Chain A
Amino acid sequence: MHPFHPEYIITALLKIVPYVGITLLMMLGTVIFGGLIGILLARAKIKRRIIPRAIAEGYIYLTRCIPSIVMLFIVYYGIPFLLLQFGIDVNHFSKGVFVITAFSILFASNLGEVFRAAYLAVDPGQREAAVCSGLSEFQAFYRIVLPQAAVHALPNFSNMLVNLMKEGALAYSIGLIDVMGEGSLLIGMNQGSFSLEIYLAMAIIYWTLTLVIELIFGRLEKSLSKGRKHATSVA
């Protein structure tokens, strides 16, 4: 057995922490692009027109069944191959582009379901009342339904974010240098001799990030629903 050096955990932590930014950036990109697809999916499922709805259901079904690592590799090898057919060479693109693409495709379905559940949680009477009082359909959505739905979406959204962060650790397998990537680089540089210490350091970082995400969203939900309670008590 290798001797265990607890003090190396600190050294490794200091070396890996700067890469937290990359992990967070990857999450942000995925939430933006996955969110856009997710909005389309949620719309298609709510509107109940048969063809868009079937496409959305099919999309959600398929992406739910594909493991992240497989999707990551399909995108990493598949997209350059596909674009090469049209004469576009993307092999020099940053690995982050492929990672964000893969996770956007995968997490769009989760995000879509989060949006849909949040939208449905708002009483349809709210929209009707808003339209009755003279707001346009667009205004009713942006001023009345969306702010209420956002509060409902928070717990599921925070769950999804944590899952995304954990799955995102797989990005190291195509060579993205984020928390996990830098950690495995460090292990390689030390010829594997401090692997346990480095794994522990990474675990501390991920666990902290999870707790911070949960804390922030818990606080946010509390402060936002405080206003809601107040509004209903006034009414």
Chain B
Amino acid sequence: MKLNTEFMRETFIASLGGVPKTFLITILTLLVSIPIAFSMALSKLENKNVSSKIVTGYVSLIRGTPIVLQILFIYSLLPSTLNYLIKDVFGLSYNIFKMNKIVYAIIVFSLNNIAVLTELFRSALGTVGHGQMEAAMTVGLSKRQAYARIIIPQALVAALPNLCNTVIGLIKNTSLAFLMAVQEITAISKMKAASGYYYIEAYLMIALIYIIVCTVVQLLFAVIEHQLSGYKKRLAV
């Protein structure tokens, strides 16, 4: 018995077709979750009683349960609920079951990622000293300006290595989108594998693609980090 190299080559090329979808899910998820997570981190830091308790509970719940469970739960809850809302509450005739499944993937991964990013932003904002905010207020910046110009740029540098980890974790999690019938890397090669029982070959190829994708992401972050820390060094000089 030998590995079927011809099949491996075919699967590799076919699965590469799933890469744009993986990136699409990742990027849209980040776009949705970053602003929400940031405001949640702020409300947790400012310690407003009710909202910070809700945020803490949410983060604990999401971080305390497996993402498979979150995917299965939301995927079995959301479509029928939305259908009920649209048909019976608003009286529209839109067929929710025809909607692109990628939307559900983005909703689930955003809900999950918000919790992860909230903690990340909270610790990153914590690394910026209290004096920075006070100094910014003293020179007459508004709170919004102080965040945008003083606090966030510094926090971003501190957050970058963790952010890279989070993005890689997110990309790895998108491999579970096949549970929601989204045609990304894993789903495509799983289907090809099932047609000829070439499971090992297919999964090795998926692993290879994820290694390549993660390498690209890590290189990207290395470049960004280099540039941002260069800016920091110039400041120090």
Using CB atoms and an 8 Å cutoff, list the residues of chain A in contact with chain B.
1-2, 62, 64-71, 73-74, 77-78, 81, 84-85, 162, 165-170, 172, 180, 184, 192, 195-196, 199-200, 202-203, 206-207, 209-211
Contact = CB atoms under 8 A, between A and B. Distances in A.
Given A65-B215, A74-B200, A180 B210 contact: no
A66 B207 CA distance: 6
B-side interface mostly: helix
B205 to A, nearest CB: 10
A202 B72 CA distance: 11
A70 B184 CA distance: 13
Given A1-B81, A85-B1, A67 B172 contact: yes
Interface residues of B, number: 34
A71 B199 contact: no
B80 A1 contact: yes
A74 B204 CA distance: 7
A190 B132 CA distance: 58
B24 interface: no
5 contacts: A1-B84, A66-B211, A67-B186, A78-B204, A199-B69
Contacts of B67: 166
Contact of B69 (A67, A68, A203): A203
Interface in B56-114: 60-61, 63-69, 72-73, 76-77, 80-81, 84
Interface of B: 1, 60-61, 63-69, 72-73, 76-77, 80-81, 84, 168, 172-173, 175-176, 186, 199-200, 203-204, 206-207, 210-211, 213-215
Contacts of B200: 74, 77-78, 81
Nearest to B84: A1
Contacts of B203: 70, 73-74, 77-78
B201 to A, nearest CB: 9
